């Protein structure tokens, strides 16, 4: 997306010789001799001796029991590294057992990669794309699949372009706003959006987020996030997703995607798949030679972790980002089972798969496994200019290691997605590209920042794209505020009753701290917490802290101004105790922060160390609760559930608010709820237990690796969050879906109407359209060489080869095991998201909700399904529908749910399909939370 390309598309041949036309690698060895480093086997096609044979089930996942690695199989350097690690741990007093897990899992191969262009919704875009791709040379096709290198253009990721045909695409974080961009909204985080349980607000946030991206010249937003799902409540990036339930995640993701893509911007569903903790997620990030492996059985994969991605694909998502860690011992961006088999075949995904930044861990193998675009272009090391695609992809196609039809499909998927969003409309997407720089706040700077040299020019135009979006941001933050305790109706605070009284406000979280953006990528817990940290965070244009908003809210008239004291410190307990005794009302603020694993703060290395409030928050709250002369209101800002057992039952604690991560309008939204301008309607998108133990034996973060290649078996299966509590009859402090209001609601008149017969299997998989066909003839090698006089930019990634000698044929490429094994299309596939008949409504559920109180308010009707006892391993109940309804005092409304075949089914690993139970009764429960379901019926 270099400036010269932006200025002119008139002379394509001239521009091909310009440094900004393509992305470049010149130093990597020929791909035809490059072995996949993510292979679970030392020799392709041969089973290692440390594995005991075990038959694979029909899922394509093999489970090897009692596997043990012999040291002869491990390189001495790796052994030395582990010895050092063990020694360090031993010196620290940590008991460490070298252990390779009781079970060893591996994904089987699924080839070839299914081609795009097989569904009706994308037919027109694929026809246009085929015509355009037909005009591209081999290196041009390679160029649009490869990033230009870290910081080489204006965005966090940029593809190469084809001058006169196809622009460089700008990819930008993230899920809660535009990272590194100026004059844009810092939205409430995904978890906060999930807590609204409001599909309209979910879509509206996506729409305005997409609009801001388009106005900044961004083609692809790296969000929404639905992985991690929240299997471990202390997971560092749980806050980027929408909650700890696959249905809630899927519904929120689909609504967000519709909003973003309605603006013509490509949404990215991430992280695919099972990226559930930050510890050991990347090679070398934790000093480990391998990333952690998330080991998941087929049924759990479908009913839990794949579910929200299926909803995203059904919503038409244009891109999916594969994750860093291994899935069943194969790196996710090179895992053919999950990319080719599950995503492209079964879910019928028509867009393109992009890697997380440096998550690609192999060359040929990853491309064959279904990876379509590598980001940011660099291969194994940040900003080194060496790519696992770029010229290596050019070579691998020329020497036939990769079929040219695979490259054609990669390019076609990218171009078709561009057309599908209408990005060929230059009135909406200017060929000038992005109008901001991710790398400098100055108006002028290097056009290729990552090179450290070369041309300069205007890189920031400081265009304000936020408009009045703060109103929607404030509304979302207010509707996501969850009131979990309100004894004696201490809330809402009544205006006009505070003259002459004293109010104390305590805790660092109530104030501005050192400034909202003082730490890079929000990587520190200071001041009020409104976002987690990492690549999913953004620069705050401003941040309204609670104290500022409260001072303004109490200052409504001369006769109603209380005497307000504030101590914005968690540790001055003696001072706080003395002050609190003098107050008629105390508000105390505590929080818990976390984020992406490349940042550590206060001993929190991405994932939280526990589920308690941080920075002495518990002692702070206890001190205020034991000292205040009046009622105490506790406000918690957090990245997930916080254990409140140390103080929740203190007599003075009359109200507790879980305010999540509210974004830039934090204080204003909180005041709206405290004073009743907004009747609280938020519901918990997770369960608040009484201890971490309540969540189950596998819910804890793996802080210490259990082997050289850490193994994390998802042995709890479907029993995550409230499902585990239900199955084991554990009473939570506050259940999933719980939240109070200032009014009251009544549920009645449950009615079930069958809309289709209960047949076990969905309809036969429908036939798809024929994908585009190309002339698969290889071009002369001479067409792929650097043009004479080509002026290269340092570390910029180009697709050209240095010489024809790079293309060697040293024998047959050692293809991954199962590469030549034909796979049958999944019977559960045939449309976007899966077999279209899975969305047939089987039963219609009608309920009446009445506001029985004296105030207007909103209630969330939640529908849960209980499968018959004959379905082994099913949870007690699973969320399968929700609707938020606004009701005036005394008003009633009917709500109708259409419950689909998939929502009533379970995944059968033998038949490889969704099965609707035809024997026994299916239970339908409706109510206000997962533990408060007054209506029940069977059919």
| Cβ 653 vs Cβ 590: under 8 Å | no
**What's the pLDDT tens digit per position in 795-837?**
999 999 999 999 987 778 899 989 999 899 999 999 999 999 9
What does the alpha-carbon distance between residue 674 and residue 680 come to, in Å, rounded to a whole number? 9
pLDDT category at 894 given cuts 50, 70, 90 is: very high
Residue 29 pLDDT greater than 50, yes or no: no
Same domain (yes/no): 796, 834: no
Q: Classify strands 326-327 and 293-295 as parallel, antiparallel or unpaired.
A: parallel
Instruction: Give this prediction's pTM.
Output: 0.91
| Cβ 885 vs Cβ 729: under 8 Å | no
Give domain status of residue 269, yes or no: yes
Beta bridge pairs of residue 655 = 486, 633
CA angle 698, 300, 816 (to 5 degrees): 105
Greatest alpha-carbon span in the chain: 89
Residue 205 pLDDT greater than 80, yes or no: yes
Residue 326 tokens read as: 């291994």
Give domain status of residue 225, yes or no: yes
Residue 327 tokens read as: 């899935």
pLDDT category at 556 given cuts 50, 70, 90 is: confident
| Closest C-alpha among 329, 205, 203, 297 to residue 255 | 203
| Closest C-alpha among 659, 629, 635, 662 to residue 647 | 635
Residues 6+ apart with CB under 8 A from 192: 476, 477, 480, 660, 661, 662, 663
Same domain (yes/no): 499, 420: no
Q: Is 938 helix (H, G, I), strand (E, B) or coil?
A: strand
Burial class (CB in 10 A: 0-12, 13-18, 19+), 809: exposed
Residue 731 tokens read as: 């009473």
* HSE-up of residue 678 (Cα within 13 Å, Cβ side): 21
pLDDT category at 53 given cuts 50, 70, 90 is: very low
Beta bridge pairs of residue 927 = 862
Give domain status of residue 693, yes or no: no
C-alpha distances in angstroms, 324 versus 256, 335, 357? 23, 11, 8
Same domain (yes/no): 345, 492: no
Among residues 686, 708, 734, the one where a domain terminates is: 686
**What's the pLDDT tens digit per position in 623-659?**
999 999 999 999 999 999 999 999 999 999 999 999 9
Residue 80 pLDDT greater than 60, yes or no: no
Phi, psi of 404 (to 5 degrees): -65, -25
| Closest C-alpha among 581, 572, 658, 739 to residue 192 | 658
Q: What is the average pLDDT across 537-565?
A: 91
Q: What is the average pLDDT across 512-517?
A: 98
Domain holding 912, by residue range, is 745-765+829-938
Give domain status of residue 815, yes or no: no
pLDDT of residue 86: 38
Q: What is the average pLDDT across 102-122?
A: 89
Same domain (yes/no): 761, 852: yes
**What's the pLDDT tens digit per position in 348-400?**
999 999 999 999 999 999 999 999 999 999 999 999 999 999 999 999 999 99
Same domain (yes/no): 477, 609: yes
| Closest C-alpha among 320, 345, 291 to residue 109 | 345
Give domain status of residue 91, yes or no: no
**What's the pLDDT tens digit per position in 589-620?**
999 999 999 999 999 999 999 999 999 999 99
Same domain (yes/no): 298, 158: yes
Domain count, the chain: 3
Same domain (yes/no): 167, 311: yes
pLDDT category at 285 given cuts 50, 70, 90 is: confident
Give domain status of residue 555, yes or no: yes
Same domain (yes/no): 284, 246: yes
pLDDT of residue 301: 98
Same domain (yes/no): 277, 357: yes
Give domain status of residue 55, yes or no: no
pLDDT category at 487 given cuts 50, 70, 90 is: very high
- CATH number, position 245: 3.20.20.300
Laid out side by side, the sheet with 330-331 consists of 330-331, 326-327, 293-295, 711-713
The residue behind tokens 């199989």 is: 73
Q: Is the dihedral of CA 917, 921, 925, 930 positive or negative?
A: negative
- CATH number, position 751: 2.60.40.10
**What's the pLDDT tens digit per position in 757-782?**
999 999 999 999 999 999 999 999 99
**What's the pLDDT tens digit per position in 128-171?**
999 999 999 999 999 999 999 999 999 999 999 999 999 999 99
pLDDT of residue 96: 32
pLDDT of residue 188: 98
- Give the active site residues: 356
How many CB atoms neighbour CB 381 within 10 A? 11
pLDDT of residue 562: 92
CA 260 to chain centre: 15
- CATH number, position 669: 3.40.50.1700
| Closest C-alpha among 247, 364, 388, 356 to residue 310 | 247
Same domain (yes/no): 535, 430: no
Same domain (yes/no): 204, 290: yes
Q: Classify strands 563-567 and 502-506 as parallel, antiparallel or unpaired.
A: parallel
Residue 11 pLDDT greater than 70, yes or no: no
pLDDT of residue 143: 98
How many CB atoms neighbour CB 135 within 10 A? 12
Among residues 646, 671, 686, the one where a domain terminates is: 686
- Could you give the percent of the chain with pLDDT greater than 90? 85
Same domain (yes/no): 623, 757: no
| DSSP class per residue in 142-193 | HHHHBB--TTSSSSSEEB--BTTTBPPPEEE--TTS-TT-SS---PPPHHHH
Give domain status of residue 133, yes or no: yes
pLDDT of residue 9: 22
pLDDT category at 60 given cuts 50, 70, 90 is: low
**What's the pLDDT tens digit per position in 401-460?**
999 999 999 999 999 999 999 999 999 998 889 999 999 999 999 999 999 999 999 999
Burial class (CB in 10 A: 0-12, 13-18, 19+), 680: buried
The mean predicted confidence, pLDDT, of the chain is 90
């Amino acid at each position: 997306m270099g400036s010269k390309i932006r200025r002119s598309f008139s002379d394509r041949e001239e521009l091909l010789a310009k440094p900004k036309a393509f992305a470049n690698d010149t130093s990597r060895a020929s791909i035809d001799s490059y072995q996949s480093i993510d292979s679970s086997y030392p020799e392709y096609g041969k089973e290692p001796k440390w594995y005991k044979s075990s038959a694979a089930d029909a899922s394509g996942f093999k489970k090897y029991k009692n596997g043990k690695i012999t040291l002869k199989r491990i390189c001495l350097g790796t052994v030395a590294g582990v010895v050092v690690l063990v020694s360090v741990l031993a010196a620290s007093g940590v008991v460490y057992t070298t252990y390779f897990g009781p079970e060893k899992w591996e994904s089987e191969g699924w080839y070839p990669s299914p081609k795009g262009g097989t569904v009706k919704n994308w037919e027109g875009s694929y026809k246009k794309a085929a015509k355009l791709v037909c005009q591209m040379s081999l290196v041009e096709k390679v160029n649009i699949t490869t990033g230009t290198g870290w910081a080489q253009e204006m965005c966090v990721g940029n593809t190469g372009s084809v001058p006169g045909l196809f622009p460089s695409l700008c990819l930008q974080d993230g899920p809660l706003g535009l990272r590194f961009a100026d004059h844009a909204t810092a939205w409430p985080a995904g978890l906060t959006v999930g807590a609204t349980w409001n599909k309209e607000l979910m879509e509206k946030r996506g729409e305005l987020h997409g609009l801001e991206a388009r106005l900044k010249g961004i083609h692809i937003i790296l969000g929404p996030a639905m992985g991690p799902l929240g299997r471990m409540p202390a997971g560092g990036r749980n806050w980027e997703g929408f909650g700890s339930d696959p249905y809630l995640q899927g519904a929120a993701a689909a609504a967000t995607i519709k909003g973003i893509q309605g603006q013509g911007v490509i949404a990215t569903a991430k992280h695919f798949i099972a990226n559930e903790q930050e510890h050991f997620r990347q090679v070398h990030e934790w000093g480990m030679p391998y990333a952690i492996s998330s080991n998941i059985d087929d049924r759990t994969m479908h009913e839990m972790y794949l579910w929200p991605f299926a909803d995203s694909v059904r919503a038409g998502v244009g891109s999916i980002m594969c994750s860093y860690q291994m899935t069943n011992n194969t790196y996710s961006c090179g895992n053919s089972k999950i990319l080719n088999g599950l995503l492209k075949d079964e879910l019928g995904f028509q867009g393109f798969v992009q890697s997380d930044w440096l998550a690609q861990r192999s060359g040929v193998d990853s491309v064959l496994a279904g990876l379509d675009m590598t980001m940011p272009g660099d291969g194994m090391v940040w900003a080194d200019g060496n790519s696992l695609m770029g010229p290596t992809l050019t070579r691998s196609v020329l020497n036939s290691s990769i079929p040219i039809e695979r490259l054609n499909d990669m390019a076609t998927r990218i171009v078709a997605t561009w057309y599908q969003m209408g990005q060929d409309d230059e009135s909406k997407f200017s060929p000038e590209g992005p109008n901001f720089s991710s790398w400098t706040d100055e108006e002028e700077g290097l056009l290729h920042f990552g090179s450290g040299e070369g041309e300069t020019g205007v890189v920031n135009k400081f265009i304000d794209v936020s408009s009045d979006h703060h109103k929607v941001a404030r509304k979302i933050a207010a509707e996501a505020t969850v009131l979990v305790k309100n004894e004696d109706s201490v809330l809402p605070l009544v205006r006009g009753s505070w003259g002459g009284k004293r109010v104390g406000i305590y805790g660092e979280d109530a104030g501005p701290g050192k400034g909202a953006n003082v730490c890079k990528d929000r990587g520190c817990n200071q001041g009020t917490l409104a976002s987690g940290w990492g690549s999913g965070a953004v620069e705050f244009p401003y941040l309204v802290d609670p104290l500022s908003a409260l001072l303004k809210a109490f200052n409504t008239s001369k006769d109603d101004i209380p005497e307000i004291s504030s101590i914005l410190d968690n540790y001055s307990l003696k001072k706080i105790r003395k002050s609190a005794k003098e107050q008629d009302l105390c508000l105390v603020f505590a929080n818990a922060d976390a984020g992406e694993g490349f940042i550590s703060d206060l001993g929190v290395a991405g994932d939280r160390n526990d589920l308690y409030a941080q920075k002495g928050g518990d002692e702070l709250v206890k001190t205020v609760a034991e000292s205040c002369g009046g009622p105490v209101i506790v406000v918690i800002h957090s990245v997930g559930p916080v254990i409140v057992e140390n103080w929740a039952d203190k007599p003075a604690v009359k109200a507790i608010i879980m305010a999540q991560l509210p974004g830039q309008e934090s204080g204003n939204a909180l005041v709206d709820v405290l004073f009743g301008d907004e009747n609280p309607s938020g519901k918990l998108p997770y369960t608040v237990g009484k201890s971490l133990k309540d969540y189950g034996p596998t819910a804890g973060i793996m802080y210490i690796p259990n082997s050289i290649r850490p193994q994390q078996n998802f042995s709890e299966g479907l029993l995550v969050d409230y499902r585990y509590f239900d199955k084991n009859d554990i009473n939570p402090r506050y259940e999933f879906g719980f939240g109070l209001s200032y009014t009251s609601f009544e549920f009645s008149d449950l009615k079930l109407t069958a809309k289709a017969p209960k047949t076990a299997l969905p309809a036969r998989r429908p036939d798809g359209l024929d994908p585009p066909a190309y002339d698969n003839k290889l071009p002369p090698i001479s067409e792929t060489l650097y043009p004479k006089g080509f002026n290269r930019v340092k570390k910029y990634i180009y697709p050209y080869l240095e010489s024809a000698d790079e293309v060697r044929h040293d024998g047959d490429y050692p293809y991954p095991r199962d590469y030549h094994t034909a796979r049958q299309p999944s019977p559960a596939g045939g449309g976007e998201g899966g077999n279209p008949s899975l969305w047939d409504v089987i039963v219609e559920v009608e309920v009446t909700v009445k506001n029985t109180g004296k105030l207007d308010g909103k209630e969330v009707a939640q529908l849960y399904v209980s499968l018959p006892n004959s379905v082994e391993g099913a949870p007690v109940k699973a969320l399968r529908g929700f609707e938020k309804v606004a009701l005036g005092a005394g008003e009633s409304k009917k709500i109708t749910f259409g419950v689909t075949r998939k929502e009533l089914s379970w995944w059968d690993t033998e038949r490889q399909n969704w099965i609707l139970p035809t024997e026994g009764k299916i239970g339908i429960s409706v109510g206000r939370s997962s533990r408060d379901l007054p209506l029940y019926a069977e059919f």
